[in-house]
Structure 1
Amino acid sequence: MTELVFDTLPAHDAREVVRRCADVPRWCDALVALRPFGDADRLLATARGLARAWTPAEVEGALAQHPRIGERPAGDGAEARMSAREQAGVSTDTDVAARLRAGNLAYERRFGRVFLIRAAGRDAHEILAALETRLGADDETEAATTAAELCDIALLRLAAAVAPAQVLR
């Protein structure tokens, strides 16, 4: 029989694994409390379902971990390392970097929060195009898009966190 290692971690350690993915305390607590999952697919499906109930305040709180797109994350903690890895494809030429900086500032003025997008698997031009498009969104649509992007990032991080040592034999 095999077990998901996440299922066997002490509660504090399991909560820290989840918190690094998205710092939404209610979500973290629920995922730890709902163990055991048995496999990563069940864990990720549950995590996605619980993320659909994130409140705007929870999303805003979780954004504090995320650097501006195209900027190096501050610190050397797990969240900073994950952000740096996710943004590895965002290395850009000077023109695109300048446009990303300007777009980030315009977004922050417009919406009052950092622009968030799942950078993994996207290049700088795709991200810039999404940023420019999202600047024209209404507040409600953009809030929903931000929450969905945060969820995507959290699930990618959670999948990576449980994959390396997913199975105990």
Structure 2
Amino acid sequence: MTSIASPGLARFNAADTPGAAGQLHHVCASGAWGAAVLAGRPYGDVEALLAASDAAMAALTTEDLAEAMAGHPPIGRPKPGDARSAREQSGVGEALREELLELNLAYQDRHGHVFLICATGRTGEEMRAALKERIGNDTDTEREIVRTELGKINRIRLRRLTEAGPAEEGD
């Protein structure tokens, strides 16, 4: 468990409100999630920050989830110039990108939003299989899967934020 001695956590705790809010927006685009996590500062350790993130994620409304999802590019098409997006989707090889984009369009037609999965550590084939499996889910089931996947993504990003040196936070 990381303690307050973590330079990234200390920097996050000490940041002014707009600065900390900006850091959180890079983690998750949901304003409600960011406000809830921001309200818990200062955090004594990373585990407390992650627990606050989990609680905030559990409390998000359908609209809040939509706002959070809007901050994520489709699998297979990382945001241009965004090192974090490229890193998170590094398991997607060129050969799969077109198929994933086509599947993502079909998923988006069915569910009204991009397919969202915690891509870190997954291969393109694993993401394709998950997309094919989840495309047939009903909306309520898919919303809860998305909530879980967003929670995983937020945890990874918060860990990176709290471990990062000053030059690493924005990548």
- Return the TM-score normalized by structure 2: 0.86
Specify the alignment match of 2:90 in structure 1.
Answer: 88
Deviation, 1:165, is: 4.2
Deviations 1:77-132 (A, max 9, x none): xxx33211100121242xx3332122111101111111111110100000000000
Deviations 1:8-29 (A, max 9, x none): 1111111111111111112212
Specify the alignment match of 2:44 in structure 1.
Answer: 38
Distance 1:67 1:2, change over 3 A: closer
Deviations 1:19-62 (A, max 9, x none): 11111112212222211111111111111122111111011112
Contact 1:68–1:104, Cα closer than 8 Å, also in 2: yes
AA paired with 1:34?
G
Gaps (5+ residues) in structure 2? 167-171
Deviations 1:126-166 (A, max 9, x none): 00000000011111101111121112111211111111249
Distance 1:52 1:72 in 2: 26
AA paired with 2:24?
V
Distance 1:101 1:27, change over 3 A: closer
AA paired with 2:88?
E
Q: Percent of aligned positions with the same letter in both sequences?
A: 35
- Return the TM-score normalized by structure 1: 0.87
Out of 28, 50, 63, the position equivalent to 1:22 is 28
Distance 1:91 1:40 in 2: 33
Contact 2:21–2:35, Cα closer than 8 Å, also in 1: yes
Gaps (5+ residues) in structure 1? none
Contact 1:82–1:157, Cα closer than 8 Å, also in 2: no
Distance 2:101 2:39 in 1: 40
Q: How many residues align?
A: 160
> 2:117 aligned with 1:117, yes or no?
yes
> 2:136 aligned with 1:136, yes or no?
yes
Distance 1:103 1:145 in 2: 17
AA paired with 1:81?
A
Distance 2:154 2:24 in 1: 8
Contact 1:92–1:124, Cα closer than 8 Å, also in 2: no
Distance 2:24 2:70 in 1: 16
